[in-house]
Every structure is written in structure tokens, then in C-alpha cells.
Chains A and B, each alone.
Chain A
Amino acid sequence: MNDKSTRRQFLDRTGRIIGFTAIGSAAGLLARRASGNAVYQVDPFKCTSCDLCRTSCVLSLSAVKAVNDFEKCGYCMLCPAYMDVNSRPDEKGIPAGKVCPQDALKRRVVGAVDQDDPNNNYYEYVVDETRCDGCGKCVKACKPPAGNGSLRLEIRYTRCVECNECAIQIACPDRAIVSVPAPGMAPMESPVEGKKS
């Protein structure tokens, strides 16, 4: 009896020592490589608006949203991301078709307003995030030369669940989902100038 329990105790103790050593060394090895907190973000220079952001995200409404960079936006009346410029024009001569299938791009007229001539105004474009599903059609339409390239797809951290592995990252054919360190991460620039944060 005593021998058995002592031997068992010895084995248990040895096992614990081995266990703690293994855990400790593995944890230590990884801790040296650890970055404070890594989050996922879309690299706008690589993104080709392939629509996989909409379908690959584990959430039913993707955490990827289109975002308008107001400093780059042209505030065009005939925004190529808002309206499908190739669709049939209405009686005022403005194309009637919309690019966004969810009607998530909203606009309002701003600045000095001319009520009689819509062509004579600037419009502010904002993405409605409760409707946007990250398909990227507006982003593709806004790319130069058609637009100013102010719209880009971005992972919104109020929605991203921070999975162990980003499902969009697996699916993306352009390797556009990157892990970046956070917090204090500056948002990436819209892909017009050859510079990114």
C-alpha cells in the first residue's frame, strides 16, 4: 500500500514537473514572438472587390463595410459608385440605376444648394452600415479613373468577432486581409496615393 502510493506520488510529481516545464517553455517561446494584440484589416491596395468579403465572414452580415474617405471624395453628383452610369437615364438625364444592391450608399446635397439644377450641387455620400454587406461593388466603381478612389472596404471593429482565424483571410484570393498590431492603429489610406500606414 505505502509503496504503491509513494510510487504513484512520485510518478504524479514527475508528471507535474514535466507538464509545467513543457507548458512554461512553450509559453515562453511564444511569448517572445507575441504582439500585443493583432487584429485583422483589409489592405486596400490589394483588395479587388471580389465579393468574397460578403460571403466568407462568419457573421451573417459581414463585418466588412465600405467606408468613404471624405477628404478624397469628390462629392460628385454623378457618383459612379452611387449610380450605375450605364443605366438608362430618367427624364432629368440622370442614370436611374443604383450600384449598391442593398441601397446602402446614401447621399444628401451639401454646400450652397441649387434646387433647380441637380448638376449644380455637391453631394455627401455616407455608407449605411446596417445595410452594407461588404460586396465591394461601390469600391470597384469608385476606383480611378472613374472616381477618386475614396471608397474602400474596411473591417469594422464594432462588428468583427476576432476569430482565431479570419474566414475572409482564408478565402481572399488577393491576400488582402492582413494582421496588423493594435491598438492605436491608424486606419489605412484609401488606395490612391502610393503610401499606406
Chain B
Amino acid sequence: MAVLATGVLFAQYQKKPPDFGGTYSFPTPEHPEPRAAWVHVLDIVMLAAGLGLAAWLILKRRSRPGVLVLSIGAIAYFGFYRRGCICPIGAIQNVTLSLVDPRYMISAGVIVFFFLPLAAALLFGRVFCGGVCPLGAVQDFVLLRPVRVPRRLDRALSWLPYIYLGLAVWFAGWGLHLKIGALQVQWGRRFLICEWDPFIGLFRISGPFHMLAIGAGFILAGMFIGRPYCRWLCPYGGLLAILARVSWKNVSITPDKELDCGLCADACPYGAIRNLRADRASCLACARCYEYCPRELETRGGPGGGDTLVQVKP
């Protein structure tokens, strides 16, 4: 009723504007369209191409320089050009919210961004971490002198991603509403991962001080400790680790042909080679082990032949 009345009242404001006299041409107001559909398709294509290229470079070509170049490209495209959004790590929350609340609008691109690297992990291991994820690529880039982290500490810390994952899912889907005696906590739904993403300030080149400080801290730590966020915090990495355990093809060291020199274990900054076997869950597919393997050095440049040590598991 009120709307109708005000509609009649305000109808005069809807009329064509008067003739102002003189020479005046009406400006066409600009309403920039959101990114066209083809740009979103391009994002998906780039993601798929990146994953495929990473798998090829790591598992077939075994080329560390290739992976390095690919990760620079990933930082450039997914990091600085797309400014880090939409990312698969954050997509955990979108997917959770969409499963919990059917009214939530989720776009097809977000779905693909979440599930495609998971499928790639089932097939090829954590190639997403190795060549495509811009956050991981930043940390990989700044790794100066990796310090070996004690095994016990590594194992203890490796529970953190799952705790973070649980918290992120809980807050994205439901929020926290508690009442314990006199204490009452009412935290609505929030996307924790997006709020605490350490590197997003770098990609947007802006952000609140605490986010930039945390990012700087992780970069500083990342100079000496290999990929701390990826190994001990990333919730998506936790999911990838679970799936990579049963992956079809991945980085592995065959027991028959190796020299037992242990150079690969020394080379791996993430402690993923234990007892001269590559741990599929923690291998971040950086291809450093290939770079240092003497057998691999023999045949460097050529595609995987029959007598190379580090080869794809049949």
C-alpha cells in the first residue's frame, strides 16, 4: 500500500528529464558489467592446464626448473592478476555453506575450483601444491636454507590442518552459539580462512596491518622452514594429503634401482622422504629430489627411460 502511494508520489521523479536549453547531451551512465562468463571459464581452463602441466613436469619431465617457472606463472595469474580470489582453500567454506544452506548461491566456478585439485590429487598426488597454488609458490620461492624440523614436532604439528579445517567448516556452516553457565558466545557464520589468509594482503597489495604482519611472518619463517603454512596449517592441504595417500601416480622412490645415497632425502625441504621412501601425503611435489638424484643427473634432459631410479610407479 505504502509502496503504491509513494510510487504515485515519486512517479514524477521517474519522468524524462526536462530540456535544459542550450546544448547538453545526456550522459550514458556507466554500469560496468561483472567479469564476463568467458573470464570465469578462462580461470577454470587455467586451473586445469596448470594442474595438467604440473603433473607432466613433475612426474614425466621431472624438471625442477619447469616447476619453478610454472609456480611463477601461478603467482602471476592466480596470485596477482586474480588477486587470490576465488581460491580452492577458501572454497572449502563456500562448499560447506552451500551444503548446509541450500539458499546460498554458489557459482559453478567455485565448485570446479574446489573439486578439480582434489581430483588431481587422487590421480597425481599434490600437484596443486607443487605447481599451481600461489600461496605455496610464494613460500617455495623464498626458501633459502631449509632447516630440518624434528620428526616428532612435524608429526604433532601435522594435526593442525585438520583442526583448522574443522573450525573453518564449523564457522562457515553454522557459526558458534554457546551458552555455558554465565558465559555466552554468539559468533555468526564467518569465513575464517579468508579472514586469516596470510598471503592475501600480498596479492591485493593492501590489507589491515595484522594480516600483512602475519604474511610477513610466514614469509620470514618460510625462508628457513620449508612451507610452514602448507605443511601445518593449510586446511585444503589436509584434504589433499588424505587423497594423495591413495593417488594413482605420484613421486615415489623404487626400492630396486636406488643407490641408497640419501641425497634425495637431504634435498627434500619438507621432510617427505623418510626411510628413503617418499611419503605421498606430505610430498608437496616440488621436484627438488629429482634435481639432486645422481641417477637422474645421468639422464637429465631426456624423458624417463627404463633405467632411471626415480620413476613413476607402474
Contacts and interface: CB of A to CB of B under 8 A. Distances in A.
A35 B107 CA distance: 5
Nearest to A164: B90
A15 interface: yes
Interface in A168-197: 170, 179, 181-185, 187, 192-195
24 contacts: A12-B246, A12-B248, A14-B246, A15-B246, A27-B111, A35-B107, A35-B108, A38-B106, A58-B200, A60-B206, A67-B31, A70-B27, A70-B29, A111-B21, A122-B20, A162-B85, A163-B194, A164-B94, A164-B110, A164-B193, A183-B35, A185-B34, A193-B7, A193-B10
Interface stretch (B115-123, B176-184, B291-299): B115-123
4 nearest interchain CB pairs? Answer: A111-B20, A15-B246, A112-B21, A194-B3
Interface stretch (B95-103, B213-221, B229-237): B95-103
Interface stretch (A86-94, A96-104, A132-140, A152-160): A152-160
Interface of B: 3-4, 6-7, 10-11, 13-14, 16-17, 20-22, 24, 26-27, 29, 31-37, 40, 83, 85-87, 90-91, 93-95, 98-99, 102, 105-111, 115, 118-119, 122, 188, 190-191, 193-194, 200, 204, 206-207, 243, 245-248
A142 B191 CA distance: 35
A130 to B, nearest CB: 14
A30 B114 CA distance: 11
A114 B7 CA distance: 35
Interface residues of A, number: 65
Given A14-B246, A23-B122, A71-B16, 14 more contacts: A15-B246, A16-B248, A23-B118, A26-B115, A35-B106, A37-B34, A38-B106, A58-B206, A70-B17, A113-B22, A150-B13, A164-B191, A170-B188, A192-B10
B119 A37 contact: no
Contacts of A72: 13-14
Given A30-B98, A144-B10, A170 B34 contact: no
B273 to A, nearest CB: 18
A71 B17 contact: yes
A161 interface: yes
A149 B10 CA distance: 10
Nearest to B17: A71
A150 B33 CA distance: 20
Given A15-B246, A192-B10, A34 B17 contact: no
A20 B10 contact: no
Interface string A1-35: 00000000001111110011001001101110111
A183 B33 CA distance: 7
Contacts, number: 171
A148 interface: yes
Contact of A31 (B105, B108, B193): B108
B35 A162 contact: yes
Contacts of B122: 16, 19-20, 23
A128 interface: no
Contact of B91 (A124, A164, A194): A164
Given A23-B122, A194-B3, A58 B13 contact: no
Contacts of A23: 115, 118-119, 122
B107 A36 contact: yes
Given A72-B14, A157-B34, A165-B191, A112 B110 contact: no
Contact of A27 (B33, B36, B115): B115
B196 to A, nearest CB: 13
A11 B110 CA distance: 31
Contacts of B21: 111-112
Nearest to A147: B13
Contacts of B108: 31, 34-37
Contacts of B204: 58-59, 161
Given A33-B106, A156-B32, A164-B91, A193 B14 contact: yes
Contacts of B10: 144, 149, 192-193
A33 B111 CA distance: 10
Nearest to B255: A1
A170 B7 contact: no
A39 B245 CA distance: 37
Interface string A69-90: 1111101000000000000000
Contacts of A38: 105-107
